[in-house]
Amino acid sequence: MTLSPQLYMADSFLEAFDKLPLTPRKKVREFLIKFRNDPTAASIHYEPIHDTRDERVRTVRIDLTYRAVVLHPEEAAGYVLVWVDHHDEAMDWARNKVFPVHPATGALQMLDLQRVEAANRRAAEAPPVKALAAYALFETFKDADLLRAGVPEMLLPSVRALHDEDELERLRPFLPAEAYEALFYIASLGCSIDEALLHAGALVEPEAATVDVAVALAHPDSRRRFHLIESTEELDEILDAPLAKWRIFLHPSQARLVERHFNGPARVLGGAGTGKTVVAMHRARHLARTVFTAPDDRILFATFTRNLAANIRQNLENLCGAEMARIEVTNLHAWAVALLRRHGEPVTIVEEEARRQCWRNVMEQTGSAWDEAFVQHEWAAVVQAQGIEQRADYLRASRQGQGAPLNRSQRAELWAIFAAYRAELDRLGRMEWPDVIHRATRLLGGATRKLPYRAILVDESQDLDPAELRLLRVMVPAGANDLFFVGDAHQRIYGQPVVMAQCGIEIRGRAAMLRINYRTTEEIRCWATGVLDGAAIDDLDGGRDDLTGYHSILSGLPPTVRRFATLAAELAFVLDEIRVLGEATEFDRICIVARTHSQLRDELLPALRAAGIPYLLLEAETPDYIGSGVRLATMHRVKGLEFEHLFIVGMRAGVMPPAAAVTEADLLRERCLLHVAASRARETLTVTGWGEASPLLR
């Protein structure tokens, strides 16, 4: 039996495919299916390229107008789709491309020789480094070290001529991603070559050098840009969403976390846009496909909000095959409610206004002199967080991190208020969300029948409280690959810092960090992280986290920040900007974000209606991918989403942060909220306000 040659697709091919008009896209799809079935058919029409720099490159005919560019090194290696375009443009693109196997790393790279030669000429023509009274950026590194980092041999002269990070940034478009990342860490952190490779997620000890392209295509650095198409069905799925490259091309640091065997709970941290959720989704598929494969094995993917659960479920359905039938995606609160109701326990959550009235009633009934805000905070941060139900337990409970200590008599006074509040809730037949979590945990703790879950993956784990973490611990048997958490405390917009070890989840020795931002430009990333400058951020386990080495692989325009005298002037500016953007892109790639629902309802919606601009208000149950029009969302609702162009509006004093946000913890949460909102932007970020500026912008 003769096996069909393997077909690979480069990320550059998907980028080119996405730019094609609709009719050529359909023809490309039809051609590729035939091409995968038999790339040797006479109807393929392989054509050499005149004066090509790599004799293994060919074009193939889509129709009379369009051509695909294919690398075909040898029968054993198969075929690599690298570009698609009009005939002449495809020829021009391919003429100067070469696809060498790197002699030190063994990865297959793609280089544009015309650009490489231009970069080397500029390096040769630049003044000598000593004439600039500066040191060469990499002068202490041998050529062999730079080659280990993945620098192409032909670009060594350009790298040697660099003397600051700005020049490295200008050279970035000419470098393979793995080379730029390693050089970035050397330049920005002053680390050794081995440390830089570890930061970049590369192999410190490179694989054996090879000239075999088939072997090179399996290298982790090759897989970030060349993907093996394993079936016609997979090819069809990829072309249905060509820009969702996260589904196909994983960074080596991500791929290793997806496939790594952990002897117990594991945690992955990373700044916004580093692909934490992508890693968790790919890991869910990996576990279902290759680790927990019995028919009754179930994988649970849990997250904090219903909106995020809906988005993840849709993405997993696009990513997975038959194994999706054994992967369950849920919001943890909804899961706990369903569990209690299955066991005959009624669940009705107290509404916010009713909750506030209960506290007012209790404070009046008890005649307490305690500050109501303090009492509510103590209830949430100590009593509910620790699941305390008895007076004696509260009298000896830890209050670490809660400020001024309380003596025994003060705690006794407070417990009388808490007991009265609990009685108010019981009178109404209502409970708070922590009550649901506590009851579910107790139910599972005494259950004789175990749940079907073999592994649980948790997204946005920074927003979970201790009770929710304890519930997750009892939902799955302790063992290898049982719990996998991804999160970032810089994005905590609910809850308080927690220590996972205190919740029965031991992650020491099984923690990892992602540092490369794939979503936003470096300019937007810097602005978004600048909002949190000076803040002490935890690592979800009692330590400190920072963003050292966190950077974006994209560059673009700096964010625009504008303040206006009136609301009318602010809205006029925003609408004019959206009209201009709407001439070049679809409106559904634009999002307007505000701090409150009332800003959207009372200010933005009337303005958009009057301007005749289509819109979609993203409410709690509204899918972000349905319908056309500019998206409108609160800062909380936009979490987990991303848009090419993002406007943050209404940044006024008293609104962002709200006047009620007065404690240090409140203000940090508001800064985190602004950080989350800003980091949703991919290409442009515009921040506006009117009247007195928000203090978060000063």
Per-residue pLDDT tens digits for 661-695 = 877 888 999 999 999 999 999 999 999 999 999 99
Q: Report the pLDDT value the prediction gives residue 33, as an integer from 0 to 100.
A: 86
- Least Cα distance to 290 among 455, 476, 483 occurs for 455
Q: Report the pLDDT value the prediction gives residue 205, as an integer from 0 to 100.
A: 64
Could you give the angle at which helices 252-259 and 276-286 cross, rounded to 10 degrees?
40
CATH number of the domain at 250-342+445-518, out of 3.40.50.300, 3.40.225.10, 3.40.50.720, 3.40.50.2000? 3.40.50.300
Q: Report the pLDDT value the prediction gives residue 308, as an integer from 0 to 100.
A: 86
- Least Cα distance to 677 among 559, 514, 583, 557 occurs for 559
Residue 375 in tokens: 């009492």
pLDDT > 90? residue 607: yes
pLDDT band (50, 70, 90) for residue 442: very high
Q: How far apart (Å, rounded) are the C-alpha atoms in residues 576 and 447?
A: 60
Whether the Cβ atoms of residue 492 and residue 462 lie closer than 8 Å to each other: yes
Whether the Cβ atoms of residue 31 and residue 66 lie closer than 8 Å to each other: no
pLDDT > 60? residue 278: yes
Q: Report the pLDDT value the prediction gives residue 207, as an integer from 0 to 100.
A: 58
Q: How far apart (Å, rounded) are the C-alpha atoms in residues 682 and 644?
A: 5
Whether the Cβ atoms of residue 526 and residue 493 lie closer than 8 Å to each other: no
CATH number of the domain at 559-697, out of 3.40.50.620, 3.40.50.300, 1.10.287.610, 3.50.30.10? 3.40.50.300
pLDDT band (50, 70, 90) for residue 98: very high
Using CA atoms of 619, 624, 627, 628 in order, give the dihedral in degrees to the nearest 10.
100
Map residue 79 onto helix, strand or coil. strand
Q: Report the pLDDT value the prediction gives residue 2, as an integer from 0 to 100.
A: 43
Q: How far apart (Å, rounded) are the C-alpha atoms in residues 629 and 613?
A: 7
Average pLDDT score, the chain: 89
Identity of the highest mean pLDDT range in 34-48, 129-143, 461-475: 461-475
> How many CB atoms are located within 10 Å of the residue 697 CB?
16
Q: Please return the burial class of 168, using the count of CB atoms within 10 Å of its CB with bins 0-12, 13-18 and 19+.
A: buried
Map residue 598 onto helix, strand or coil. helix
Q: Report the pLDDT value the prediction gives residue 163, as an integer from 0 to 100.
A: 86
Whether the Cβ atoms of residue 229 and residue 39 lie closer than 8 Å to each other: no
Residues of the chain with pLDDT > 70: what percent?
A: 94
List where CATH 3.30.2310.20 sits in the chain.
7-101+216-240
DSSP string, 606-643: HHHHHHT--EEE--TT--TTSS-SEEEEETTTTTT--E
pLDDT band (50, 70, 90) for residue 245: low
Whether the Cβ atoms of residue 358 and residue 428 lie closer than 8 Å to each other: yes
Least confident piece of the model among 187-201, 309-323, 412-426, 469-483: 187-201
- The total number of residues written for the chain in this structure: 698
Mean pLDDT of 472-477: 95
pLDDT > 70? residue 242: no
- The contacts found for 44-49 with CB under 8 angstroms, 24 or more apart, are 46/70, 46/72, 49/91, 49/94, 49/95
Provide CB contacts within 8 A for 9, sequence distance 6+.
Answer: 80, 81, 226, 227, 229, 235, 238, 248
Q: How far apart (Å, rounded) are the C-alpha atoms in residues 100 and 455?
A: 41
**Residue recorded with tokens 């009117």:** 690
Q: Report the pLDDT value the prediction gives residue 246, as an integer from 0 to 100.
A: 64
Mean pLDDT of 329-338: 95
pLDDT > 80? residue 589: yes
Q: How far apart (Å, rounded) are the C-alpha atoms in residues 461 and 514?
A: 15
**Residue recorded with tokens 């799809």:** 29
Secondary structure letter of residue 102 according to DSSP: P
Q: Report the pLDDT value the prediction gives residue 244, as an integer from 0 to 100.
A: 64
For Cα atoms 177, 680, 286, give the angle at the middle one, nearest 5 degrees.
60
Q: Report the pLDDT value the prediction gives residue 132, as an integer from 0 to 100.
A: 47
Q: Report the pLDDT value the prediction gives residue 447, as an integer from 0 to 100.
A: 62
Residue 510 in tokens: 């099984």
Mean pLDDT of 624-649: 91
Q: Report the pLDDT value the prediction gives residue 129, as an integer from 0 to 100.
A: 53
Q: What is the CATH number of domain 7-101+216-240?
A: 3.30.2310.20
Q: How far apart (Å, rounded) are the C-alpha atoms in residues 265 and 509?
A: 10
Whether the Cβ atoms of residue 634 and residue 600 lie closer than 8 Å to each other: yes
pLDDT > 70? residue 420: yes
Q: How far apart (Å, rounded) are the C-alpha atoms in residues 61 and 38?
A: 14
List where CATH 3.40.50.300 sits in the chain.
250-342+445-518, 559-697
Bridge pairing between strands 97-98 and 111-112: antiparallel
pLDDT > 70? residue 76: no
Residues of the chain with pLDDT > 90: what percent?
A: 60
Least confident piece of the model among 3-12, 53-62, 97-106: 3-12
pTM for the complete prediction? Answer: 0.84
